């Protein structure tokens, strides 16, 4: 039997000598990829259906508002009313996108690949959070800007009219940013607890819907102080009360009966924001990788 011989093949392996782009580039790439993933960009048609269905709804409402103003010369809803009126589409958007951003990585166990790069656990969490905030802001701010452009073209008072209209737009954009910062933190925290996207989506919707009747129950109890503070129990009503305290009551709208407890809602918003983001960072410090 002939003896076996070993052969060494030179496959031309060389060490990488190019630039090492480092942690900042990894963070930026993860953020950009996550924003694209939020809208299904770069993925199959199935991943685009639900996000773009929500986008279609918010754009349709904007078109109706623009058309109504151009025909009648009257405002159908303010920019803040537009943001508040789309609370449920935003809730569904968060329930779809937040699990897409983090639950998939938990399920597929790709976190070790991320953390083998110059990317910290907190970097990963903050990049995902920033991407979701960006997606929500884009979802609500772009239609408002379209409404603003349509409104400017219907005005006859030139630059002063455009500036006055911008004064109406600014609170709407401010309310959009507040909602994006707080609701994205809450949704991403919930989604990070499960690797199953369906479960994570159900949990997110559940938090927003189950806490809604609590507000009604606290109001029904009849205690004046408790009724004025009841809107803290639900993230959506907390947003409304917080925006009312910051930007005031609009037009003939009486607003929520929060009395003089506006600062309490301000503190509640900060606690919800800081708590959700802080717990999200803590979650990824302890997650297995």
Residue 156 has pLDDT above 80, yes or no: no
Asked if the structure places residue 54 within a domain, the reply is yes
Residue 140 lies inside a defined structural domain of this protein: yes
Distance between CA atoms of residues 265 and 242, nearest Å: 5
CA dihedral sign of residues 174, 175, 181, 184: negative
The answer to which of 15-19, 31-35, 227-231, 262-266 has the lowest mean pLDDT is: 15-19
Instruction: Convert the pLDDT of each residue in 217-226 to its tens digit.
Output: 888 876 788 8
- Band of pLDDT at residue 289, cut at 50, 70 and 90: low
Domain span at residue 197? 22-286
The answer to the question of residue 65 being in a domain is yes
Q: Tens digits of per-residue pLDDT, 126-145?
A: 999 999 999 999 999 999 99
* DSSP run (H or E) holding 61: helix 45-72
pTM of the model: 0.88
In a domain, 17, yes or no: no
- Mean pLDDT of the chain, nearest integer: 87
Residue 53 pLDDT level (bands cut at 50, 70, 90): very high
CA distance 81 to 243: 11
Q: What is the mean pLDDT of residues 225-241?
A: 90
Nearest partner of 228 among 190, 262, 254, judged by Cα: 262
- Give residue 62's pLDDT: 94
User: What pLDDT does 253 receive?
Assistant: 63
Total domains, the chain: 1
What is the number of H-type helices and E-type strands within the chain?
A: 12, 0
Q: How far apart are CA 214 and CA 198, in angstroms?
A: 25
Instruction: Name the pLDDT band for 252 (thresholds 50, 70, 90).
Output: low
The yes-or-no verdict on residue 22 having pLDDT over 90 is no
**Is residue 263 assigned to a domain?**
yes
Q: Let me know if residue 6 belongs to a domain.
A: no
246 found inside a domain: yes
Residue 13: inside a domain: no
Residue 21 has what DSSP assignment? -
- State the Cα–Cα distance between residues 56 and 175, nearest whole angstrom: 21
Question: Of the candidates 210, 36, 29, which has an alpha carbon nearest to the alpha carbon of residue 127?
Answer: 29
Q: Any alpha helices (H) in 86-234, and if so which ranges?
A: 87-108, 111-115, 121-154, 158-191, 197-210, 212-220, 224-229
Q: How confident is the model at residue 2 (pLDDT cuts 50, 70, 90)?
A: low
Q: What are 112-124's pLDDT values in tens digits? A: 777 777 888 889 9
Q: Cα(253)–Cα(249) distance, rounded to whole angstroms?
A: 7
Query: Which residues 6+ apart lie within 8 Å of 174 measured at CB?
Result: 243, 246, 247
The pLDDT score that the predictor gives to residue 111 is 80
Q: Half-sphere exposure of 97 toward its Cβ, with a 13 Å CA cutoff? A: 36
Rounded to the nearest angstrom, the gap between the alpha carbon of residue 6 and the centroid of all alpha carbons in its chain is 59
Confidence at residue 205, expressed as pLDDT on a 0 to 100 scale: 93
What pLDDT does 121 receive? Answer: 87
Q: What is the dihedral of CA 144, 27, 110, 113, to 10 degrees?
A: 170
pLDDT of residue 164: 86
Distance, CA of 250 to CA of 265 (rounded, Å)? 18
The pLDDT assigned to 52 comes to: 92
Closest to 131 in 3D by CA, of 97, 172, 173, 174: 97
Does residue 194 carry a pLDDT above 90? no
Residue 255 pLDDT grade (very low, low, confident, very high; cuts 50, 70, 90) = confident
Instruction: Return all residues near 94 (Cβ < 8 A) that are at least 6 apart.
Output: 132, 136, 183, 184, 187, 204
């Amino acid at each position: 039997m002939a003896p076996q011989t070993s052969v060494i093949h030179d496959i031309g392996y060389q060490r990488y000598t190019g630039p090492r782009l480092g942690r900042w580039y990894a963070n930026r790439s993860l953020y950009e990829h996550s924003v694209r993933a939020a809208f299904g960009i770069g993925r199959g048609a199935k991943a685009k259906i639900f996000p773009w269905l929500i986008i279609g709804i918010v754009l349709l409402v904007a078109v109706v508002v623009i058309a109504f103003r151009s025909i009648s010369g009257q405002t159908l809803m303010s920019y803040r009313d537009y943001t508040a009126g789309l609370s449920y589409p935003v809730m569904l958007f968060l329930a779809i996108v937040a699990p897409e951003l983090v639950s998939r990585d938990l399920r597929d166990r790709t976190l070790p690949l991320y953390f083998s790069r110059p990317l910290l656990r907190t970097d990963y969490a903050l990049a995902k959070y920033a991407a979701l905030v960006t997606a929500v802001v884009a979802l609500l701010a772009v239609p408002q800007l379209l409404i603003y452009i349509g409104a400017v073209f219907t005005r006859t008072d030139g630059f002063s009219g455009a500036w006055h209209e911008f004064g109406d737009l600014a609170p709407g954009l401010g309310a959009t940013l507040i909602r994006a910062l707080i609701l994205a933190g809450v949704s991403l925290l919930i989604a990070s607890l499960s690797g199953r996207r369906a479960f994570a989506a159900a949990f997110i919707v559940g938090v927003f819907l189950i806490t809604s009747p609590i507000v009604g129950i606290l109001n029904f109890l009849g205690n004046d102080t408790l009724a004025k503070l009841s809107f803290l129990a639900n993230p959506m009503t907390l947003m409304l009360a917080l925006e009312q305290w910051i930007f005031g009551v609009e037009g003939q709208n009486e607003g929520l009966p929060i009395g003089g407890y506006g600062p309490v809602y301000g503190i509640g918003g900060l606690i919800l924001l800081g708590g959700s983001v802080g717990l999200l960072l803590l979650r990824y410090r302890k997650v297995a990788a």
